[in-house]
Amino acid sequence: MSAESETAALQHDDAPVTASKQTHPDRALVAETVTINRPADELYAFWRDPANLVAVMDNLKSIETIDETRSRWTVKAPAGREVSWESVIIKDVPGKEITWQSAPGADVANSGRIEFQDAGARGTVVRAVIAYDPPGGAIGQLVAKLFQREPRVQARRDLKRFKQLMETGEIATSSRTAKQLAEEKA
């Protein structure tokens, strides 16, 4: 096969869809990837227990476990308010993937997936994908408000905190005093 025909046959490159230069007006998709120097099983186990996530996701106020697949998420909203919804795990592949979706009737419809892929000596590639309405839509605006930051930036920082906690046993802070640390987290 000539190089020319190979080129002609290539409809799509290997880059993830989240890096596409084409925009999809009906739907926004963000993905962030981090490599964590720990085994996939350990990372999956941490993420599978929703109670653990409050430590790394800094806009979360609480997650209450309802049953094996359902949990209630409460996030901090502007002006000291809180917004809460029920999240349901709709796909669970131990050691590999967790996909969740907000239950019908939630004020803020959202869905996400976290994947754990073995990376050999480097540990595990962790990829978070979050789907939401684009910022123009009513739901998108609400999501942006709830997250306080662009969801992608929020997801990236949350993953970095997850990495820090799993690799070092703590989340790095440059605060000098407990008071400063509390203000930073508020």
177 binds another protein (CB under 8 A): yes
Phi and psi angles of residue 152, each rounded to the nearest 5 degrees, phi first: -65, -45
Which residue in this structure is represented by tokens 């795990």? 89
164 binds another protein (CB under 8 A): yes
- AA identity, residue 55: A
DSSP code of 6? H
Task: Give the range of 3-11, 73-81, 137-145, 161-169 binding another protein by CB under 8 A.
Answer: 161-169
The 56-85 site mask, x for binding another protein (CB under 8 A), equals ------------------------------
Task: Give the range of 6-14, 44-52, 79-87, 156-164 binding another protein by CB under 8 A.
Answer: 156-164
Provide CB contacts within 8 A for 98, sequence distance 6+: 44, 47, 48, 89, 91, 92, 113, 114
- 83-122 binders of another protein (CB under 8 A): 122
* Segment holding 177, helix H or strand E: none
Give the nearest distance from C-beta 5 to another protein in angstroms. 35
